[in-house]
Structure 1
């Protein structure tokens, strides 16, 4: 009976307590990343050992940012999913093909990760920005808001490419992440994701559902 009551209490909190939800989800993501890290170590993939060691503290950083500015659960969860997609991309295989080597026509799995990552990053930047604006009571022209959000998101994407560059220089990751053209395509896809997210934000940010799930 006590076990049943404990389980009932757990699922009740999981359903109704957002703070508990993000703690549980963060724990699940960290556990998954540790599994991917161990897998990368076992198969000798130094590149993704490095990436996983970078991502793990980022999960904790996102968790504390979430608590600080009350980011919506949907946005935080989407970012966590991007982390998992990246970590899985280097060590998981489907029908003998590594995830990061899978293509859908001209679109690579890597392109999808970068596009979605940049899209979600802009939503987070928007959340940080509106948190600041609401406190200061300021209003900004939508065009300038769009440019600011896109540049910030694209800038984060550039920082990520610099992290990849460290992997290339110190862990000989060029075979895994690609050459200069791959880097340029990543930056371009990051920009496309940021632009798409910027258009999405400007079009829907005044709607109630957007404010409930994103803003």
Structure 2
């Protein structure tokens, strides 16, 4: 628990320090996101045992939020890596939720892998993690309807599509962005589920070798 407390405090400090940085860079649209991430960090800490988290999963959840918060540096507009920053944040944003939901559902799985129950659990994990991505997309759209164009998760801006409303209506800039978001969400979720399956298989093999 000491390690968890340490990671939690560091995470909270990072989000707090990023608020003045957002003012310095002039990208203040991410401040509501930072406040939300601060609250989510506390929520993860509070539900750590209930959701059967591990420290790596907890840390990856925070890292996913930090990657999005790095939008204060203008990375959604000009990515520091060859791939669009929006794609990275969606991949690593949903990836830890796949780990989280998989581990939570693991308590109900059967010993045999190829059973109807396990298949339904895998589907449930996928749908639950996909739902997180859907909520994010919905919040972006509601934010756009109320706040219009701008930076941050509650507005439509760099990394989301095209800045001209007429062009968006004509060729579907927003739709294209949402489609790509869901694709990278799905890739992150599937990657997380595959990792958890590999971990479980290795654990079972270790137990079998001991017995």
Instruction: Answer whether contact 2:94 2:129 (CA < 8 A) is retained.
Output: yes
Shift of 1:177: 4.2
Against the structure 1 CA distance between its residues 165 and 159, is the aligned structure 2 distance closer, same or farther, given a 3 Å change threshold? same
Normalising by structure 1, we get a TM-score of 0.73
* 1:185-204: CA deviation from partner (whole Å, max 9, x where unpaired): 11111012112222333343
Instruction: Answer whether contact 1:153 1:194 (CA < 8 A) is retained.
Output: yes
Within the alignment, does 1:102 sit opposite 2:79 as a pair? yes
Within the alignment, does 1:188 sit opposite 2:183 as a pair? yes
Q: Corresponding residue for 1:38?
A: 20
Stretches of structure 2 lacking an aligned partner (at least 5 in a row): 110-114, 150-154, 162-173, 207-211
Shift of 1:104: 4.3
Normalising by structure 2, we get a TM-score of 0.75
Equivalent pairs, count: 181
CA RMSD of aligned residues (A): 2.5
Stretches of structure 1 lacking an aligned partner (at least 5 in a row): 1-18, 93-97
* 1:138-162: CA deviation from partner (whole Å, max 9, x where unpaired): x853332322211111111111112
Q: Corresponding residue for 2:118?
A: 142
Q: 1:68 & 1:148 partners in 2: Cα distance? A: 18
Against the structure 1 CA distance between its residues 27 and 166, is the aligned structure 2 distance closer, same or farther, given a 3 Å change threshold? farther
Shift of 1:209: 9.4
**SS of residue paired to 2:201:** coil
- Structure number with the higher helix fraction is 1
**SS of residue paired to 1:68:** coil
